[in-house]
Amino acid sequence: MADSSFDVVSSYDKQEVANAVNNAAKEIANRYDFKGVGASVELSGSTVVLKANSEDRVKAVLDVLQTWLVKRKVSLKHLDGTDATPRLSGKEYRLDCTLVEGINQETAKKIAKIIRDEGPRSVRAQIQGDELRVSGKSKDDLQAVMNLLRGQDLDVALQFTNYR
């Protein structure tokens, strides 16, 4: 019998992120507390740019964006730079949040160590670029590894793809 396997990846749906940014921009344009403060949110490539005339307003815009990302089922772990303080750029405050995709080497090694230490003995994990391939003889063991990884508190949002 051939080995079963799946891939552990960290990716987001670009269309859902674009929809969340557009919905947040509409809400900001219509809300009374954002009138006249120059608040805006826009997506440029893999960066979300938040602008307003005060530091508190930028944080409020970030809160609206995060609410829409959660509604669109995009993990907030993909949004990097949300804990930074907004910087003054001319007359307005700006906050640039980068959308992060992929698993870095350090996190991949950490996940592989978790699988080795706490997972079933018949399961192997190997790092392939910015993803992890987990393979084993039993599909039940692979599902146990998926449940184990779902229960871990990691810095990245994990998805399981290519299950066969």
**pLDDT tens over the chain, length 164 residues:** 568 999 999 999 999 999 999 999 999 999 998 888 889 999 999 999 999 999 999 999 999 999 999 999 999 999 988 788 888 888 899 999 999 999 999 999 999 999 999 989 999 999 998 999 999 999 999 999 999 999 998 889 999 998 88
For residue 9, how far is the Cα from the chain centroid? 11
- Range 14-99: architecture per CATH: 2-Layer Sandwich (3.30)
Which residues belong to CATH 3.30.70.990 in the chain? 14-99
Give pLDDT, residue 16. 95
pLDDT for the residue numbered 83: 80
- 4-11+103-161 maps to CATH 3.30.70.860: yes
Report how far apart, in Å, the C-alpha atoms of 43 and of each of 46, 57, 87 are: 7, 18, 18
User: φ and ψ at 20, to 5 degrees?
Assistant: -65, -40
Supply angle C-alpha 53, 54, 60, rounded to 5: 105
Q: Where in the chain is the domain with CATH 3.30.70.860?
A: 4-11+103-161
**Separation CA 15–CA 77 (nearest Å):** 17
pTM of the model: 0.87
Report how far residue 97's alpha carbon sits from residue 25's, in angstroms, rounded to the nearest whole number: 15
Give CA–CA dist 57/31, Å, rounded: 12
Determine which helix (DSSP H) or strand (DSSP E) holds 93, and give its type and residue range. Answer: strand 92-99
Q: Are 132 and 112 in contact (CB under 8 A)?
A: yes
pLDDT of amino acid 2: 61
